[in-house]
Amino acid sequence: MSTLQAVHNIPEICAQLGITDVVLSPGSRCAPLTIAFARHPAITVRTVPDERAAAFIGLGLAQSQRRAVALVCTSGTAGLNYAPAVAEAYFQQIPLVVFTADRPPEWIDQLDGQTIRQTDLYGAHAKGSFTFPADTTHPDAQWHAARLVSEAIELAEQFPAGPVQVNVPLREPFYPKQGEELQFGPVRVTRELPGSPVLPAAVLQELAAAIRSTSRVLVVAGQHPYHADLLLALRRFAAAYQVPVVGDLIANLHLPAAAGYDQRNRPLGRQDVFMAVPEPGLKEALKPELLITFGQSLISKALKLYLRNARPAQHWHIQPAGAVADTFQSLTKIVRMEPLDFFELLPVALPSPHSLAPSPGGEAPQAYTAAPDATRVAPVPRLTWPGGGAHLTEAEATAKGAYLRPWQAAENWADGFLREFMGQSNQPFNEFTAIYRALQHLPDHAALHLANSMAVRYANILGLPAGRMVEVFANRGTSGIDGCTSTAVGAALARPDRPVVLLTGDVAFFYDRNAFWHNYPTPNLRVILLNNHAGGIFRLIDGPRQQPELEEFFETRQSLRAENTARDFGLRYLPVSTFAELESALPVFFAAESGAALLEITTSSPTNAEFFEQYRAQVRTSFS
């Protein structure tokens, strides 16, 4: 038996536990791992030289496929370059299994080359750290090695999912002899069967009674992957209790919930617009008594600050396991359930249960009420579903409607305001309007990746065309710019069958150009680059924009264009700097036959800031 047999068994354990994708960066110390993974018939291995880009590509693969992906690197600082993606995976709850090759323990701190202290390399930003045995000739060591790899993979995928490190000390010789065949297994793996916590019926009845008896109930969704069953359950829940449901674009509540989906009944997503309205009466009308949340982070700073100031009497967070953040400083109850189970079971737990199943073909026709609302805008629709709200008394329905209507009215006003404002003629060429027009052309069933800084904020304000099947992703675990492009590349590799569109700014794009430094085609990838030759966000936020150091020390102005990057990596390049050029380029850019493409939208940072300030000023003065 080879002295490296335990190492050669690692790919077999991965394959048996569902890991089929590995992203590795070449090196000498990791050669035994590289060869073992490369020769395993059930593993797809991709080589990416830059470890930082490699880790984010792995994150994009795992995020898109919704299962663990393995990373492999050599010893020394190579593993440190994984750290940004590891932190993002930790806070976004994405499973990564990180195999870091290492020197054997006796050579640590002995001035040997490519040697650092790799044990527990990611500290508090990994779910766990495992050390592979340096010597595996004894049967007990082989048993131990297989067991810990199995445990590491299971830990990565347990809720809340996240990254784990397996540090693998390796001694020479690293390479098999000429003609030597590697053997994989047999190995024994430990499988953990998933389960979902369900609260006792009496507790569910108690929660249902509290929701029914509370007039001002608000549901807020944080970042969450698209889940069709959850969307349906949310809509039934909202209809049964007549409550507003609010979520940022990354909560993926905007997607159609079923055939015949009625957009007038959709969850609300314009909070970044109407929360900027200074009218005190509106803020008072929207204030919840009971806040119910699920999912992860919010993009909308306006909503986050509003809810912190609103201080609801009760705040329930729905999460099956793991630590819970008190984001709004009002947490009173943690409900240990999957959000899907909670929103499915609570209508059933009503004191007077009614059938809430949708009719064939989707939702019932929209019902309208003509009752006046607190925001003095046109009458708005009432949430309906077959049986929706029927269990409520007239007094309960009236009280809940008085809270629901201002939310719906504010959403409808924001919809109309955006259409009117963005449709203005004689605008200067600016990135805000350019994004609005580009989003109208998104292909159906696309994955939209939003880079951090202004790209994700613009998109959250503007939203997506109604009824469009577009799932939205963003690295909002740590909200860094360092791997946004690489994550989108990973998604394109994971799902070659669907378009992947990245909306990014120039600083994030040029920072992460090594995302394209690999040999794997991504014909489904489309990159929309907003190049204002600066970190334009600093002109849009109070503080830096008033300082004389703005241009040199905050914006970090640069003169780069993306043409050379596109040429180097084989991307079709479409530069635009006018609305006419943009409208002409968009159909070509999104055409399936165009292949991987980069649309560079060049604008002026001062012009962008001036136009966005016009938008904000009109939001503050147009609401009535």
Under 8 Å between Cβ of 535 and 453: yes
Kindly report the pTM of this predicted structure: 0.90
The per-residue pLDDT for 194 is 80
Intervals of the chain under pLDDT 50: 353-387
Residue with tokens 């040999």: 519
Q: Which CATH class name applies to 424-622?
A: alpha beta
CATH of 201-350+395-409, one of 3.40.50.300, 3.20.20.70, 3.40.50.1220, 1.10.150.20: 3.40.50.1220
Under 8 Å between Cβ of 563 and 599: no
Q: Which CATH class name applies to 4-169?
A: alpha beta
Name the 3-class secondary structure at 168.
Answer: strand
Cis peptide before 186 (omega within 30 of 0): yes
Cα 431 to its chain centre, rounded Å, is 23
**What is the rounded CA–CA span in Å between residue 260 and residue 252?**
18
Number of C-beta neighbours around residue 197 at 10 A? 11
| Nearest in space to 75 (alpha carbons), one of 126, 33, 21, 133 | 33
**What is the rounded CA–CA span in Å between residue 471 and residue 88?**
19
The per-residue pLDDT for 137 is 87
- How does pLDDT run across 464-499, given as a tens digit for each residue? 988 889 999 999 999 999 999 999 999 999 999 999
The per-residue pLDDT for 539 is 58
Tokens of 120: 């527990």
**What is the rounded CA–CA span in Å between residue 17 and residue 37?**
14
The per-residue pLDDT for 44 is 97
Give ranges for CATH 3.40.50.1220 in the chain: 201-350+395-409
**What is the rounded CA–CA span in Å between residue 408 and residue 377?**
10
**What is the rounded CA–CA span in Å between residue 438 and residue 528?**
9
**What is the rounded CA–CA span in Å between residue 540 and residue 594?**
35
- How does pLDDT run across 492-509, given as a tens digit for each residue? 999 999 999 999 999 999
Give ranges for CATH 3.40.50.970 in the chain: 4-169, 424-622
